[in-house]
């Protein structure tokens, strides 16, 4: 099962930047819709496009393996 580690990346970025980070801020700054982010946050195994993954990796300044994981 492939999992999007959105919650973890939000916490990491918030700690790195030294401020709280809301879904609305992530949506505005990343170009990923708030609805999509809420769905991925609530259901990390939800299917999503590579375009969304690319935008999130760019926004969080992380590698693919930091955002996406595979669990058996």
Domains and CATH numbers, the chain: 2-67 (1.10.260.40)
DSSP 21: -
CB atoms inside a 10 Å sphere around CB 56: 26
CA 63 to each of CA 13, 24, 26, 35, 54: distance values in angstroms, whole numbers, following the listed order: 13, 22, 17, 23, 10
What does each of the 72 residues of the chain score in pLDDT, given as a tens digit? 999 999 999 999 999 999 999 999 999 999 999 999 999 999 999 999 999 999 999 999 999 999 999 988
pTM of full prediction above 0.85 = yes
* Cross-strand partners of 3: 69
Between CA 29 and CA 63 the distance in angstroms is 18
């Amino acid at each position: 099962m492939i999992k999007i580690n959105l919650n973890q990346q939000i916490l990491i970025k918030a700690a790195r930047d030294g401020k709280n980070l809301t879904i609305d801020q992530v949506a505005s700054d990343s170009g990923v819709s708030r609805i999509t982010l809420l769905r991925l946050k609530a259901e990390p195994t939800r299917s999503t496009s590579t375009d969304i993954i690319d935008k999130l990796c760019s926004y969080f300044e992380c590698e693919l393996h930091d955002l996406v994981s595979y669990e058996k």
